[in-house]
Amino acid sequence: MAKNEIKIIVNNKVYSELVEIQIVRDLDYLSSSFECVVANRFIARSPIIIEDQIEIKVNEEPVLTGFVDNIRMSISNNSHNFIISGNDVTADLETSEIFANATYKVENLKSLCESTIQDNGIFYISVIDNLEDDSFDKDKEQSGDTGQTIFSMLSEYALKQGKILTCNGEGDMVIYSNSGISKGIVLENSSNNQLIKSANLSQDFSNRYKKIIVKSQSDDDSDISGEASDSVVRREITKVIINESKIDADGAKKIAEFEVNKRRSDSIQYNCKVFGFSAPNGELWKPNLLVSIIDSNAGINATMLLKRVRYNFSQSDGSTCDLTFVSEDAYSLKTEASQFNKGVE
């Protein structure tokens, strides 16, 4: 039987009296987050304090390294619990803003990330290059504007190059290809299934537009923009996005294409709750895995990208994972859908 264990380590001390915990990892965000309930019946205040360092392991594999941001107390006649929440250390790149306008000549994405992070005073986050190739527009430049967050500047360049910025469980920024990671995992929802607890196909077009226009930030009267269309949307509705920084027309078009594709992909999601924390091959469920989904009830038989994982543990329900899958080209610049399900695109 697969091991299903979550371990919380704060300041080198292991806390075993877990009442419940949720840990979320999502490709739409650089950092992971957590919230846990710890039982302590013998002291009046939390043994953990704000900004304590925390490490969370799932089946002995690190999934989050960060800090405690929030502590609440819950007291009743039968319990004395502390609710503790926080984020991976890479959350600092999502909130910290660029000191001063800067333009970088890009040699590769890793060097751009390292230079930008360190130039803005953060020296405790490493950048891991997990790419299989180094195909970049090396003659391109990337600019960051004062007040723009470090992550928004870096992710803007990454998406134009077809790359994803996320974190690992040890507090590092990791660069991945947007094509996902294949491990040969098959997830089948059938009468013989022993893994899936529940599943559903969600379709929501409320955030899709016929046309998306991206405009550059501008200090003058120039009107630099790019646009992309979603051919499936019938109504003539337009979304205008003002980019956080100055970009050229080509960059604006690529961001518009990404927005069309991302909204298309998010509008059709396969969600399921599975028992335990591991895939059928023993691999820990993680975002960016490519998984073969077979579900005759939902009408899906296709390879999909694992976008979001929530690890859950509670004393009443045991260990489960909530998984959200989107189309395998979700983070590309492809505006037309791959036909993974008849009538759904």
Homologous superfamily of the 6-88 domain (CATH): Baseplate protein-like domain - beta roll fold (2.30.300.10)
Examine the pLDDT at 139 and tell me if it is beyond 70: no
Tell me which CATH code domain 181-204+267-327 carries. 2.30.300.10
The predicted-structure confidence for 205-251, as pLDDT tens digits, reads as follows 999 999 999 998 876 656 899 999 998 898 999 999 998 888 888 88
CA 31 to CA 8: how far, in whole Å?
Answer: 17
Task: Please name which of 37, 99, 15, 306 lies closest in space to residue 187, comparing C-alpha atoms.
Answer: 306
For the question of whether the overall pTM of this predicted structure is more than 0.95, the answer is: no
Compute the C-alpha angle 235/239/245, nearest 5°: 165
User: Are 6-88 and 181-204+267-327 the same fold in CATH?
Assistant: yes
The predicted-structure confidence for 62-98, as pLDDT tens digits, reads as follows 999 999 999 988 777 777 788 999 999 999 999 999 9
All structural domains of the chain with their residue ranges: 6-88, 92-177, 181-204+267-327, 211-266
CA 9 from centre of chain: 23
Topology given in CATH for the domain delimited by 92-177: Phage tail protein beta-alpha-beta fold (3.55.50)
Homologous superfamily of the 211-266 domain (CATH): Baseplate protein-like domains - 2 layer sandwich fold (3.30.1920.10)
Lowest mean pLDDT among 97-106, 115-124, 320-329: 97-106
Count CB atoms within 10 A of the CB of residue 52. 16
CA 304 to CA 306: how far, in whole Å?
Answer: 7
